[in-house]
Amino acid sequence: MKTKLLNLKNNVKLIYTYVKDVNGVDVQLCFNAGALNDPKGKSGLAHFCEHAVSSAFSTQKHNRNERRALKNKYTYSNANTSSFFVRFLLQVAHNQFEEAFDLMTEPFNSLQYISEEFESERKIIYDEILTRKKTNERELGNILLHQIYKEPEYNNIQISAAGIVETVEKIKLEDIKKYINDYFTQKNLTIVISGKIKLRKVIQYINKYIYPRIPVGEKLGFDFENYKGFKAPCFIQSPAVEDGKSIFLTFYAYDKCEKFSTRKQYFVESLLNACLQEKFFEFYRTNNNLCYSCFTGLFNDNKYKECEFLVQCNDNNIENVVNDFKDFLKFFEGEFSEDLFNKHKERKLSQVNFDLQNLSRISSSRFGEYKQYNEICNSDKTVINELKSVTFEQIKNLWKDILKSKPYLILITSKEGLENYDYKDFVKKLK
């Protein structure tokens, strides 16, 4: 099983994996368009467009009730919006793939923009926003990414990609139509297909259903290829933290995700992550009691591999938390030993079935080597041998590579006076 990345006509990208031991196919249509591209004052527009295309609006062929009923024929159908992409997902038996792919792509050239359906869906989105608010669900990543990638004067900090009621109520039907025409295009599209379907069939269906239905368009969305990082520290006064609380976040974008993670690489990342998490908690929480919560982790965001360190603390501790980060790096260097590595490796080996379940899901969070749950769980011996083969030297080398990249500082706080924090001095101290 090998993942292929193919550049097709009109900048369409295809990430394809043939998996012979399953009877289903996973397909994702990922458009480089998300909350980062929402216009000022209309946060939630990309998310509203996701709803419209997914099943909220009728098409020339089916009304919206028929569309929702048809979707239920298949194993799984969903859609989601992040800060930088809108994704439509489908899981289907391999012998139903063409029928399902036809239904999935139909809206892109036949969506009906009906006022009654638009207003009805707006109320549903209001409910979604209010539900998130009541359950205190805060999508920190979306808040951060708005500040990382938007211009400094962009002040409309949103709690999630769904936006807030005050901005969603400003969205007009014409905004939906324009956004879909501008961003849901071939030049903004990555197709991810994995399962029991031959590549020649995939290409045949792309030629039949993608090219005639989705407009060519222009390459829009956030330009990650030319992204150079922060020009200044990212300081946010945000409703996402309680009064008197602060969040300190430093992350290293250490590699591009075009280098697909193999299963072996997943275990290398996982073991380094376990070592970092233990010692990060020990330094900030156990030894110094500087915070009420802290977390570290290695992630893929579909564009970059990131190593993230996050501390939640009281406002009066935020400067100590930030200034002590260099001391944590020194502390970890002294504690990062083969004994620590072996302890976590043994723990991973004892939890291999749990890790298999995690590994089977990585395809939904990263454009990496696409793994199916059944295929992975039928090869326990191979997985255990790959985990056993990970060496301390390998995770040390990964940590060295991470530290070579530039650290990015983000402060989310209600404390005044940190807007002028000397970010250059912070970076210099970490070198």
pTM, rounded to two decimals:
0.61
Rounded Cα distance between 429 and 65, Å, is: 59
Residue-level pLDDT at 275: 93
Residue-level pLDDT at 160: 65
Kindly list the strands in the beta sheet with 234-236, ordered across the sheet, starting from the edge strand earlier in the chain.
Answer: 234-236, 407-413, 245-256, 304-314, 293-300
Q: Which helix (H) or strand (E) holds 365?
A: helix 362-365
Residue 125 and residue 237 in one domain = no
**Structure tokens that stand for 270 in this block:** 């996982």
Question: What DSSP letter does each residue of 130-197 carry, written as one string?
Answer: HHHHHTT---HHHHHHHHHHS-TT-----SSTT--HHHHTT--HHHHHHHHHHHSSGGGEEEEEEES-
**CATH, residue 63:** 3.30.830.10
Residue 394 and residue 295 in one domain = yes
**Structure tokens that stand for 91 in this block:** 């899981």
Residue-level pLDDT at 340: 94
Show which of 173, 202, 225 is a domain's final residue.
225
Which residues, in sequence order, are CB contacts of 133 under 8 Å at separation 6+?
159
Residue-level pLDDT at 338: 94
Residue-level pLDDT at 24: 80
Rounded Cα distance between 307 and 318, Å, is: 20
What's the CA dihedral at 56, 61, 65, 67 to 10 degrees? -70
Residue 178 and residue 279 in one domain = no
Residue 166 and residue 251 in one domain = no
Residue 246 and residue 204 in one domain = no
Show which of 206, 225, 244 is a domain's final residue.
225
Decide: helix, strand or coil at residue 431.
Answer: coil
User: Residue-wise pLDDT tens for the chain (431 aa)?
Assistant: 567 878 899 989 888 888 777 778 888 898 988 776 787 778 889 999 999 998 878 888 888 888 877 777 766 778 888 766 888 988 888 888 899 899 899 999 898 999 999 999 999 888 887 776 654 444 444 444 444 444 333 333 344 677 788 888 999 999 999 999 999 999 999 898 888 889 999 999 999 999 999 999 887 765 444 443 433 445 555 444 456 777 777 878 777 654 445 667 778 888 898 899 899 988 887 777 777 777 787 776 555 678 888 887 777 777 788 888 888 999 999 999 999 999 988 887 776 554 444 444 333 333 333 333 334 334 456 667 778 889 999 999 999 999 888 777 777 766 666 655 565 566 565 65
Residue-level pLDDT at 426: 60
Q: Which of 22, 50, 19, 21 is nearest to 35 (CA)?
A: 50
Residue 250 and residue 215 in one domain = no
Rounded Cα distance between 81 and 221, Å, is: 13
What's the CA dihedral at 85, 164, 41, 56 to 10 degrees? 60
What's the CA dihedral at 409, 415, 420, 424 to 10 degrees? -20
Rounded Cα distance between 332 and 214, Å, is: 50
Show which of 175, 210, 225 is a domain's final residue.
225
**Structure tokens that stand for 222 in this block:** 């956030």
Residue 196 and residue 242 in one domain = no
Residue-level pLDDT at 369: 33
Q: Which domain holds residue 309?
A: 228-430
Q: How far apart are the first and last CA of the chain?
A: 41
Decide: helix, strand or coil at residue 70.
Answer: helix
Rounded Cα distance between 355 and 270, Å, is: 9
**Structure tokens that stand for 328 in this block:** 């944590």
Residue 130 and residue 31 in one domain = yes
Rounded Cα distance between 381 and 279, Å, is: 31
Residue 90 and residue 153 in one domain = yes
- Secondary structure percentages of the chain, helix, strand, coil, to 5: 50, 20, 30
Q: Which of 257, 272, 185 is nearest to 221 (CA)?
A: 185
CA distances for 62 relative to 28, 65, 68, 112, 346, angstroms: 22, 8, 10, 10, 55
Residue 216 and residue 282 in one domain = no
- Tracing tokens 């790959």 back to the chain, one arrives at 386
Residue 144 and residue 99 in one domain = yes
Q: How many domains does the chain have?
A: 2
Residue 110 and residue 17 in one domain = yes
- Burial letters 185-209, b for 16+ CB under 10 A, else e: bbbbbbbbbbbbbeeeebeebbeeb
Output the CA angle 323-329-333, nearest 5 degrees: 155
The β-bridge relationship of strands 245-256 and 189-195 is unpaired
Task: Taking each helix axis as running N to C, give the angle between helix 338-350 and helix 263-281, from 0 to 180 degrees, rounded to the nearest 10.
Answer: 120
**Structure tokens that stand for 272 in this block:** 């380094």
Strand ranges, E, within 227-372: 234-236, 245-256, 293-300, 304-314
